[in-house]
Amino acid sequence: MRAILTVVGKDTVGIMSKVSSLCAKYNVNIVDVNQTVMQDLFCMIMLCEIDKVEESFNSFSDAAAELGEKYNLSIHVMHEDIFNSMHKI
């Protein structure tokens, strides 16, 4: 299964490093990354493979949200299908 990880927040040093370290810690493979800065907001979208995730999807998702709270970022991990179903016919 593939998931989309999104990070939105104020641009600071090391966001990408923190998020990718978390992915590595949970054995989540990053397939694609797209990053932009829109009106001072850092916006990163990662496509991840989470089939071999350590522990469980839930714990990875919780850890990502926790990381977000710590650095004042909004981080969400959601199944890829939710975006596909909404935006592709």
29 φ/ψ sector (left φ>0, alpha ψ -120 to 50, else beta): beta
Contacting residue, 16, 22, 30, 47, with other proteins by CB under 8 A: 47
- Minimum CB–partner distance for residue 56 and other proteins (Å): 10
Number of residues that bind other proteins (CB under 8 A): 25
* Pairing outcome for strands 29-38 and 41-49: antiparallel
* Rounded-to-integer distance, Cα 55 and Cα 15, Å: 24
Q: Does 66 bind other proteins (CB under 8 A)?
A: no
Binding site for other proteins (CB under 8 A): 4, 6, 8, 32, 34, 36, 43, 45, 47, 57-58, 61, 74, 76-87
